[in-house]
Amino acid sequence: MEEQGIQLIVGLGNPGPQYAGTRHNAGYWLVDRIVERAGVELRPDAKFQGLLARVSGDGGDLRLLKPTTFMNHSGRALAAVCRYFDIRPEAVLIAYDELDLPVGSVKLKLGGGHGGHNGIRDSMAALGSRDFWRLRIGIGHPGAKEQVIGYVLSRPSRVDMDAILEVVDQAEGCLPELLAGEYQRVMNRLHARP
C-alpha cells in the first residue's frame, strides 16, 4: 500500500543575513534549492510567521515553508500552516541540521525524539505529535558539548559546505518520490551514501 505523500516541507533555520551561511540553517538550504529548481518564489506571510511557497504538480500542491520565528519557535509557523491547509503531521517533512551525523550524510526518518534540537522540540510541542518526517542533514559535531552553540551558529569550511550542499541536492532530487509517499525508495537512495 502506498503511503500518503509529503504536502509540506519545512526548512529550519534562523532569519537574517548574519545567520544565512551558518550550519544551523541547513534546513533552509533545502527549501531554497527546491524553490530555485521549481522556479517559484518564497513570499513573506505574516499569518504563518514565515516565508511560504507553493509548487503544483501531478500529486497536488506542495507547500514550502521557512519559519522566520528563529529556531526555538519554529513550531509556531509550522502549526499555523498545518492548521490552515489541513495538513496532518505524517504529511510533513522537516529538514534540519544534525550534529550526530557526519558532514556529507543525510538521513530520512519518521518520528522519534528531538535529540536536543530546539527547532524539532518546538515543532513537536506545537504539532502535539512526533509523527512527522525528518530529513536530518549532517553537519558533524565540534567534539565538546560546550562548543555546540558556537559551532552551529558558525559557517562551515568551503569543503564542508560543498559536502552539505551536495546532500541537499540529492535530497531535492528525491522530491518526486517524497510527493508519491515512496519513503523506502528515498531512504535507499540517501542512506546508501558513505
Between 183-191 and 158-172, two packed helices, what is the crossing angle to 10 degrees? Answer: 150
The answer for residues whose C-beta is within 8 angstroms of residue 80's C-beta and 6 or more apart is 47, 48, 49
Going by the annotation, the residues of the binding site for tRNA are: 19, 70, 72, 118
| CA separation for the pair 126, 110 (Å, rounded) | 17
Going by the annotation, the residues of the binding site are: 19, 70, 72, 118
Region 180-184: what's the mean pLDDT?
A: 93
Tally of residues, the chain:
194
The alpha carbon of 142 is separated from its chain's Cα centroid by a whole number of angstroms, namely 21
* Most distant pair of Cα atoms in the chain: their distance: 47
User: Is 24 one of the catalytic residues?
Assistant: yes
Q: How many CB atoms lie within 10 A of CB 78?
A: 30
Above 70 in pLDDT, residue 58? no
Region 160-188: what's the mean pLDDT?
A: 94
Q: Which residues pair with 137 in a beta bridge?
A: 97, 106
Query: What is the Cα Rg of the chain in Å?
Result: 15
How far is the CA of 189 from the CAs of 22, 35, 117, 167, 170, in angstroms? Answer: 26, 22, 25, 11, 9
Q: Cell triple for residue 77?
A: 509557523
Above 90 in pLDDT, residue 173? yes
Q: What is the pLDDT of residues 106-144, one digit of tens each?
A: 999 999 888 888 899 999 999 999 999 999 999 999 989
Instruction: Give the pLDDT of residue 1.
Output: 39
Region 89-105: what's the mean pLDDT?
A: 95
pTM over 0.85: yes
Catalytic residue among 24, 117, 141, 191: 24
Instruction: Give the pLDDT of residue 38.
Output: 92
Of 3 and 41, the structure prediction assigns the larger pLDDT to 41
Break the chain into its structural domains and give their ranges.
Answer: 8-191
In CATH terms, the fold of domain 8-191 is: Rossmann fold (3.40.50)
Instruction: Give the pLDDT of residue 101.
Output: 94
| CA separation for the pair 63, 174 (Å, rounded) | 16
| CA separation for the pair 136, 124 (Å, rounded) | 15
